[in-house]
Structure 1
Amino acid sequence: MDKLSIVVPCYNEEESIPIFYSAVSKVLAKMSKVVPEYWFINDGSSDHSLNEIKTISESDRNVHYISFSRNFGKEAAIYAGLQSAIGNYVVVMDVDLQDPPSFLPKMYELIKSGKYDSVGCRRIDRTGESKFKSFLSDKFYSIINKISKTQIVAGARDYRMMTRQMVNAVLSMKEYSRFSKGIFSWVGFKTKYIEYHNVERVAGETDWTTWKLFKYAMSGIADFSQAPLNLAMWIGIFSFALSLIGIIFIIIRKIINPFSSVFGWASLVSVILLIGGLQLLCIGIIGRYIGKIYLQVKNRPIYIVKEKK
């Protein structure tokens, strides 16, 4: 018998939790060679999510939970769940059922074959989401795969089943700023992806706004690529070269025609603003990386547990 640990991050999901548990339990009941272990991670929810989890835990001894002292984010919740999971295999799932539980038997069969260390899922479309959000998502995967050595599969979800060896590798990466999609790819191991069409949330509303997704994407780029720093350097080189050419041009013009006057205050101010803006852009890019270093060296915990069972 294999123990399968199911890590489920939860933030204000009181409606989805009982539906999720019921749906997953029905699928696991058909997997006779697996003993389930649930780890619900209450990420500082402000609704009754924790009460729903406790209710389920009282009726099923295989259901455990961790409740954070405040909202630390989904990445911290995933990390906490992986730390607590003791199963031979570990699967990360969203509680809103956008990660179809029906894939669990196939994922287990594939990973049990020994051919793969991880079996993940990827969406091949984003039906039901706004075109603008879908456009941004496509562009993110296109950009990060061009500027980063760590390749991230387009449409890949956090929904994946992993061997204990791969889980231990992920846990060995203790950075404060976490981007799981990149971490799962960076640690390597052989991964098989199951493709499927987008599934709507079973209940409630998503907390992932377009702005939050954008910030998450920027964090992922900064975590797994130095291209923005290189861009800042080349902008500086280009600006310096352009300024040098301008100075040489002015000197030569003055030698050829000593009595010439140079007018154009408006254009001069525009150039100054342009160069100043480029400098601030470069400083901002560098500052983002320094900020991540600052958070890491403070060595604060990734999460704080208020209650655990």
Structure 2
Amino acid sequence: MKTMSLIVPCYNEEPTIEIFYNTVEKVFSDHPDEFKDIHHEYMFINDGSSDGTLAEFRKLNAAHPDIVHYVSFSRNFGKESGLAAGLQHAKGDYIAVMDVDLQDPPELLPKMLTTLESGDYDCVGTMREDRKGEPVIRSFFSRSFYSVINHISKVQIIPNARDYRLMTRQMVDAILAMPEYNRFSKGIFNWVGFRTTYLKFENAPRSAGETHWSFWQLFNYSIEGIVDFSDVPLKIATFIGGLFAFLAVVGIIIVIIRKLMFGNSVGGWASMVTLMMFIGGIQLFCLGIIGNYIGKIYLETKHRPLYIVQEEK
């Protein structure tokens, strides 16, 4: 009998955990034919929650020790660390990544499993048909992010694709072979390759609680993805630096010719100061891009663990 491991990272999700468990269990019980040869297990990840999330995990584990397992971090390490921990601890032949808020519909699991067992694919991902119910400004920046990263990166990321997916053990082992500290799972899932198909679903509200992703956190996450999977920003900085160096040389030549021909100094100190401030801003912008990449290198060379486990069952 094969095993399906469900990886569920959680951060302050106390109200949603029991709802999630009961909903997923109902999907398994309602589809006995699809899951007749499948043993399923849950791998909950507590990412340093400050509410009763860990207590909910303990309660579920006590009631269902054969299928419910959990890993609890010593502090909040972030979503990517939670995903990495789940992949490292999951032992199943098939591994699914899901959000606990039920915005990833468990009803797709039977079809995902059937598609995977056909042997035609190594991964069945999911994507939203639209972003209905999401703030307009967030939808705009999300579309802009996918457009930008797919133009500057060799790794193509499917717009509106979710982390919710079912993968074979072979694909997960390939993902785990990537040891980097700075992780962007949407890019990693696509970078390793393997045959992947996507199922579409309509956007759904959270089952309970509130999202913990602020606009600023999502913006930073998008920057992480761009830096992790493209060196184009460095090339842009190089191009801008070269362009302004060329313009500076042209400016110097114009000033010298004007001095020799007309014998007067160049006027317009205000415009000159403005130009200097503009060029200084461009230089700082380029240094910021370079600094971001250097910072990534710095973190990689430290070889710190992605997370620290305080408790697991």
TM-score normalised according to structure 1 size: 0.99
Corresponding position of 2:23: 23
Equivalent position of 1:13 in the other structure: 13
How far residue 2 of structure 1 moved from its aligned partner, in angstroms, is 1.6
> 3-state SS of the aligned residue for 2:14?
coil
Residues 245-294 of structure 1 show CA distances to partners (whole Å, capped at 9, x for unaligned) of: 11111111122222x23111101101110111011001000000000000
Q: Give the residue type in structure 2 aligned to 1:15.
A: P
Q: Distance in 1 between matches of 2:41 and 2:156?
A: 31
Report the Cα distance in structure 2 between the residues aligned to 1:200 and 1:172, rounded to whole angstroms. 35
Q: Which amino acid aligns with 1:26?
A: K
How far does residue 217 in structure 1 lie from its aligned partner after superposition?
Answer: 0.2
- Displacement of 1:191: 0.4
Distance in 2, Cα, partners of 1:264 & 1:165: 67
Aligned residue among 137, 145, 150 for 2:150: 145
Is the Cα contact below 8 Å between 1:28 and 1:34 reproduced in 2? no
1:227 alignment partner, one of 220, 232, 241 = 232
Question: What is the match of residue 289 of structure 2?
Answer: 285
Unpaired segments ≥5 residues, structure 1:
none
Written as runs of structure 1 = structure 2, the 5 A alignment for 1:1-309 is 1-29=1-29, 30=31, 31-60=35-64, 61-258=66-263, 260-309=264-313
Aligned partner letter, 1:58: A
Tell me how far apart the structure 2 counterparts of residues 210 and 141 of structure 1 sit (CA, whole Å). 16
Q: Which amino acid aligns with 2:266?
A: V
Q: CA deviation at 1:33?
A: 2.0
Pairs aligned (count): 308
The worse-fitting range, judged by mean Cα deviation, of 87-96 and 123-132 is 123-132
Of all paired residues, the percent bearing the same amino acid is 57
- Render the CA deviation track for 1:151-202: whole Å, top value 9, x for unaligned: 0000010000000000000001111111000000000001000011111100
1:80, distance to aligned residue in structure 2 (A) = 0.4
Structure 2: which amino acid aligns with 1:302?
L
Distance 2:28 2:270 in 1: 71
Deviation beyond 4 Å, 4+ runs, structure 1? none
- 1:120–1:191 Cα contact (<8 Å) kept: yes
Bigger drift between 25-34 and 243-252 goes to 25-34
The whole-number CA distance in structure 1 between the counterparts of 2:277 and 2:266 is 19
Q: CA RMSD in A?
A: 0.7
Q: Secondary structure, in 3 states, of the residue corresponding to 2:299?
A: helix
Question: Does the 8 Å contact 1:93/1:158 carry over to 2?
Answer: yes
1:219 shift after superposition: 0.5
Letter in 2 for 1:300: R
CA separation in 2, counterparts of 1:229 and 1:195?
A: 35
User: Aligned-pair distance for 1:48?
Assistant: 0.1
State the Cα distance separating 1:57 from its structure 2 match.
Answer: 0.8
